[in-house]
Amino acid sequence: MTAKEHTYLGVPVKKPKVAFFEFTSCEGCQLQLLNNEATLVDFLALLNIVNFREAMSEQSDDYEIAFVEGSITRDDEAEQLKEIRARAQTLVAIGSCACFGGVNQLKNRFNDLAWVKEQVYGSHPIESREAMPLSAIVPVDLEIYGCPIKKEEVERVVTNLVLGKSIDYPKYPVCVECKANHNVCLFDLGQPCLGPITRAGCDAWCPSNRLGCWGCRGPAEKPNVRQLRQIMHEHGFSDEQMLDRLECFGGFGQYVSELKSASKE
């Protein structure tokens, strides 16, 4: 065994060549990967990173796994994503922007891109199209949810990828994690919250800090949106307040039309 090889239960483990890319985003998800110094060295030891603009100057197009942050909002981004997909054996979407369109897709709700561009950029010419998740352009093998992603979850996913183990996400909602953390329900504190219908896995990150969930991880399995609407109404929150949260990150797009129709009844 060479000095560069790592083992798991005595078996040599190959370090995959990994590249990180970003499109329209704040790049906060990539920063999350570098923030936890306590485990950073061990995390990086699992990988042979060949392209990571925020962490290194060297670049290579020879990689096996591509981690991609950000939504697609320009034609050239779509073409670059296709090139990344062609090179990568595994493409991983990281963060709400890559998985759902993220906060960038809020402009889509106006259904008038020309008006949005005028409001934001005035007469300055800018290329910008409807914000789209990566999966709308190319096949995505794996999604890591959140805005931003949680470093601990990424480490677990990457470890399982390297070891060839299955990657499973909780099917229950954030409320379960909230109760496990002995939190006071945010509704009882006068805040709207999407915890009852949002995919768990964040350890109730926002509710544990007294902030109602905005659904950045997308829907849990079989989310009961109608029941949440009833809960919202019982606590004095309107359909518009609920829609603001459902539309924020793009993960609940399939339920928005249903709620808007119900609001007109």
Tens of pLDDT, residue by residue over 105-157, are: 999 989 899 999 999 999 888 899 999 999 999 999 999 999 999 988 888 88
* 6 pLDDT higher than 80: no
* Cis status, amide bond into 148, omega within 30 of 0: yes
**Residue type, position 198, single letter:** T
CA end-to-end span of the chain: 69
pLDDT for res 7 = 60
Q: Pull the structure tokens for residue 194.
A: 């999407």
53-74 pLDDT tens trace: 988 888 999 999 999 999 999 9
Residue 246 CA neighbour count, 13 Å, CB half:
26
- DSSP per-residue string spanning 154-187: HHHHHHHHHHT-------SBHHHHHHHTTPPPGG
pLDDT for res 251 = 95
Burial of 21 (0-12, 13-18, 19+ CB in 10 A): buried
pLDDT for res 11 = 58
* 212 pLDDT higher than 70: yes
Tell me phi and psi for residue 199, to 5 degrees.
Answer: -60, 130
Q: Pull the structure tokens for residue 76.
A: 């050239």
User: What residue ranges define each of the domains in the chain, with the CATH number in brackets?
Assistant: 6-163 (3.40.50.700), 174-263 (no CATH)
Contact between 18 and 48 (Cβ < 8 Å) = yes
Percentages (nearest 5) of helix, strand, coil residues in the chain: 40, 15, 45
What is the percentage of the chain residues whose pLDDT exceeds 70? Answer: 94
Tell me phi and psi for residue 12, to 5 degrees.
Answer: -60, 135
- Residue 139 falls in which region: left (phi positive, over 0), alpha (psi -120 to 50) or beta: beta
Averaged pLDDT of the chain: 90
